[in-house]
Amino acid sequence: MREGASACAASSEQRFVHDAVLLQETVAAVLGVKSLPKCTDDAPQPSLQMSGIYVDATFGRGGHSRLLLSHLSDDATLVVFDKDPTAIAVAQELAASDSRVKVVHDSFATLTDSLAALGIDQVDGLMADLGISSPQIDDGSRGFSFMRDGAVDMRMDTSRGQSVAEWLEQVDDETLANVLYEFGEERHSRRIARAIKQMDSYESTLELAEVIKTAHPNWQRGKHPATQSFQAMRIFINNELGDVDDFLVQSIPILKAGGQLAVISFHSLEDRRIKQFLQRHSKGQYPEDDKLPMPPKRPRYFSKPKRVGPSKSEVSGNPRARSAWLRLATRSDVEYQQAASQD
């Protein structure tokens, strides 16, 4: 049986691999349906058999992709992106058993060019699960966790770029403090930055976390004091917010009229960007227009966006889902105008 052939099997299988957050809701959204068909005794393997071209911009371990594939027809195409070489290895295994899957080892910020290289100029649906995945956190050697020891790396793509440790060796106190504040919303950024720069080396995530913990004057109950600092360094070194902005802008011309955009975020920095982007492009209203006596008429590229959160049962079964939000919108039947998209 080709992977993805059974919606029920795909959903069940992934619980052993990776708890894909808002799984059913995201796949339903990218397919443009209110909900996916349920497994029953009469129909143990229901499938929508949708045709078209779809993109999973953050493959991870393939939870969303596998469920989506189970609802696609044999002539459909799914292009999956990821920076992480380990994720790409999993994606290539999936592609070897399912000819509908095309794999791109790169950031979703390269969306337009990467799809063009595959002969694709528009798609029927785009989905993305932003941030860090559970397997990445659980693997201490990647450097994302302040609970497991490992090298202070934090790169999504370990085959290229500068590690956090290398960056910390070179950065000055002020720049580091600004990064901690801007990307981690850490109020005590200057104090923490000074403590980090006083370290002899940056070889251990646990040592780095302990220094931050000691320097932090105000611990929030139930939250490790290094949480925001680790988040900030990870987001900065991977250019995560810049990539999100580039991806969102490219989603407009890439989506067909009636195509679906579905994006999951886990913290306010990402969610705010997605919210504001969809608001602007669904209302045709831009902040800079407020200063003009006669604001130009802006195209409305998306329908009224919606926001979906995890159910209580999902949060109970997967605590990491508690901060997740899914924002979704439908591409309007409006011709894309390059000049109108410039903010």
The residues, any chain, with a CB within 8 Å of residue 228's CB and separated by 6 or more, are 180, 184, 185, 186
12 band by pLDDT with thresholds 50, 70 and 90:
very low
For residues 275 and 47, the answer to whether their CB atoms sit within 8 Å is no
The whole-chain average pLDDT of the chain stands at 90
| Six token digits for residue 109 | 């910020």
pTM exceeding the 0.75 threshold for the entire prediction: yes
Cα-Cα-Cα-Cα torsion 5, 11, 15, 21, nearest 10 degrees, comes to 130
Per-residue pLDDT at 188: 95
| Residue 106 φ then ψ, to 5° | -170, 170
* CB-CB neighbours of 221 under 10 Å: 4
284-294: per-residue pLDDT in tens? 888 888 788 88
For residues 232 and 182, the answer to whether their CB atoms sit within 8 Å is yes
| Six token digits for residue 277 | 């982007």
Provide mean pLDDT across the span 26-36: 96
Euclidean distance between CA atoms 267 and 271, whole angstroms: 6
CA 145, 150, 151 angle in degrees (round to 5)?
110
Per-residue pLDDT at 8: 58
For residues 107 and 245, the answer to whether their CB atoms sit within 8 Å is no
Euclidean distance between CA atoms 331 and 316, whole angstroms: 33
pLDDT at 14 over 50: no
pLDDT at 43 over 70: no
Euclidean distance between CA atoms 186 and 60, whole angstroms: 28
For residues 115 and 79, the answer to whether their CB atoms sit within 8 Å is yes
Residue appearing with tokens 């969809």: 278
238-280: per-residue pLDDT in tens? 999 999 999 999 999 999 999 999 999 999 999 999 999 999 9
- Give all strands (DSSP E) within 39-118, no chain letters: 53-56, 77-82, 101-105
Per-residue pLDDT at 148: 87
First-residue to last-residue Cα distance in the chain: 48
Euclidean distance between CA atoms 274 and 262, whole angstroms: 10
Residue 128 β-bridge partners:
263
Of 42, 85, 60, 223, nearest to 135 (Cα)? 60
Within a 13 Å sphere around the CA of 254, how many CA atoms are in the beta-carbon half?
Answer: 28
Per-residue pLDDT at 44: 62
93-145: per-residue pLDDT in tens? 999 999 999 999 999 999 999 999 999 999 999 999 998 777 787 777 788 88
Residue appearing with tokens 């528009």: 122
DSSP H or E stretch at residue 337: none
304-325: per-residue pLDDT in tens? 999 999 999 999 988 888 999 9
Burial bucket for residue 41 (CB in 10 Å: 0-12, 13-18, 19+) = exposed
Q: Where are the alpha helices (DSSP H) in 126-239?
A: 134-138, 164-170, 173-184, 189-197, 205-215, 227-237
Per-residue pLDDT at 132: 79
For residues 48 and 11, the answer to whether their CB atoms sit within 8 Å is no
Euclidean distance between CA atoms 287 and 262, whole angstroms: 24
Strand, helix or coil for residue 306:
strand
Euclidean distance between CA atoms 263 and 111, whole angstroms: 15
